[in-house]
Chain A
Amino acid sequence: MSEAAIIGVGHSVFGTRRDVNIPELCWESMKKALESANLEPKDIEFFVVGNLGIWSSELAVPSIMAEYADLAPKGSMRVEAACATGSAAIRVGYTAIKSGLADIVLVLGVEKMQESPNPNVIELIGRFGSYFWEFENFGLTFPGYYALHASAYMMKYGATEEDLAKVAIKAHYYGAKNPFAQFRKEIDVATVMKGPYVAWPLKLFDCSPITDGSACIILASDKKVKEMGVEEKVWILAQGVGTGTANLSKREDFTSLASARYAAEQAYKLAKIEDPAKELDGANVHDCFTIAEIMAYEDLGFCKRGEGYKLAREGQTYIGGKIPVNVDGGLKAKGHPIGATGVSMAVEAYKQLLRKADKGRQADIKNGRWLAHNIGGTGHYAYVTIYGLERR
């Protein structure tokens, strides 16, 4: 079975992108990915588009891009897995290569959330769980879902709102060093603490923003990597996938995401990783809300259950700490264009492992392994992907 390598990446500027429409936004990252892979659109055998798109106008994004970027008549697919859409798209590309059905696959993640007014986006994003039993009847919002986890977590382990704030401060610290980030300004505890509640106990600065953006990677098989003599590449070593119940009340515990633990277990087993904090050089975790990053530390085994907030409190996830996490600004400061997020994490893994990250946010690369943890909804979907410099 062939392995799959990322041989090219591209990333658009994330933020409020009123200057571009959907295909223009896609092309920003596609162009860079094609250039860095040294390929032409005609070389792409199959392409996958991760796009949730309920808030934006164009539904047939693969066709839109087939037209705009000369990809017709190649095969394609649009993929959706809520906020894990990007990783789901990578999953499709990865399996296409592993199965031998394709040798070169382009994976594009895109979201133009600001094609709808903010109130509509808030309305639509709250519907990701069990629509009927949670949203229709009780008006649960997306921050509300994570807030239910935050208050359960804080009650059980004694974490405070200031501990959560630490996650946001780190995100903005690194976001300020990332030219593609939506927020490029550092913040302090006071800023976070005086923010208004969005869903108690989560405040404005605990939440990732509404973002437009695109990210793109090009995957190649062993055969192509050899044929093209690709030097700069990053392999997908393993990917674990999990699914959680729609209705939160069907879950046993609100201090952790079972689907993420399940996905991590699979990924570690496949990549033969026993002590992730030691064997990885860093990670991108799904910090759509600050509490999500803290739970991710635990679900990924960077520390014991109940100790994630201590990693945040002690600054152990900055570069130089126990394990660097979200040194691109994370979803919180880099932005969270739903369909692009998982692909953006892959771009970051590629940059970090090949030591191409911006000044001040390049992690030390010793093991040659980077992890991406991408969650859809509140653990409704979970993808844990391990990227590496050495082929498995």
Chain B
Amino acid sequence: MEIKEAIEKMGFPIIPDEKSGAWQWFDVRELKLRYILSVEGIKKFYEGLKEGKLLATKCKCGRIFFPPQKDCPSCKKSEMEWIELKKEGVLETLTVIHVRPTSFSHYDPYAVGIAKLDDGVRILAWYRGEPKLKPGQRVKVEIVKRKEGYLTYELVPI
């Protein structure tokens, strides 16, 4: 039963529960959620993707951050150098998301993996390939365009 129909029938936006018959008030105030997140501090990362590069930040103290981070808690400096990762490593774990969030329902079930890149950092991304996990599986990172039309990165078995 739709809310409008319920109001007509019951006099209120009340729909009895299908199973128990308990009266449920259906909220008339609907909320759509969309966040606005700042990527100003890591905009080089997106410029890099456009050039086919996977970029990380590297602090003067030597610490590498991926996902890129603007500030270094080790030495408390914020003077980062942007470095290009080699885009190869070993797949450490994998899953296939069958029950998808509504906001991802326009995709078929997708595999998500975590790989440790040869540069020492780990990366979480979609995995394109037969979803089987075996020890030492080498993967590369490919920069691809996703369904929504913007660039992202994926793990692909080598």
Contact = CB atoms under 8 A, between A and B. Distances in A.
B98 A151 contact: no
Contacts of B37: 132, 136
Interface in A92-139: 119-120, 122-123, 126, 130-139
A143 interface: yes
Given A19-B22, A138-B124, A155 B135 contact: yes
A151 B101 contact: no
Interface residues of A, number: 43
Contact of B92 (A133, A140, A152): A152
Contact of B98 (A135, A155, A199, A254): A199
A144 B95 contact: yes
A68 interface: no
B74 interface: no
B97 A123 contact: no
B11 to A, nearest CB: 20
A123 B101 contact: yes
Name A's interface SS.
helix
B61 to A, nearest CB: 18
Interface centre among B93, B104, B121, B133 (most CB of A within 10 A): B93
Interface residues of B, number: 38
Interface centre among A16, A134, A147, A201 (most CB of B within 10 A): A147
A134 B98 CA distance: 16
Contacts of A134: 124
B124 A249 contact: yes
A133 B124 contact: yes
Contact of B114 (A141, A202, A249): A249
Contacts of B67: 130, 133, 247, 249
A59 to B, nearest CB: 13
Contacts of A133: 67, 124
B100 A141 contact: yes
Contacts of B102: 119-120, 122-123
Contact of B104 (A57, A139, A147, A197): A139
Contacts of B135: 155
A18 interface: yes
B95 A147 contact: yes
Nearest to B122: A249
A196 B100 CA distance: 13
A326 B37 CA distance: 41
A151 B114 CA distance: 11
Contacts of B107: 139
A250 interface: yes
Contacts of A254: 92-93, 114
A148 interface: yes
Given A126-B101, A200-B131, A18 B96 contact: no
A248 interface: yes
A144 B131 CA distance: 14
A78 interface: no
B143 to A, nearest CB: 13
B17 A18 contact: yes
Given A18-B24, A152-B133, A249-B122, 17 more contacts: A16-B19, A19-B20, A57-B27, A119-B102, A120-B102, A138-B110, A138-B112, A139-B101, A141-B100, A148-B94, A152-B92, A155-B93, A155-B133, A199-B97, A200-B96, A249-B121, A251-B122
14 contacts: A16-B20, A18-B17, A18-B20, A123-B102, A132-B37, A137-B125, A138-B110, A139-B100, A141-B97, A148-B95, A152-B133, A198-B98, A249-B66, A249-B114
Interface of B: 17, 19-20, 22, 24, 27, 35, 37, 66-67, 92-104, 107, 110, 112, 114, 121-126, 131, 133-135, 152
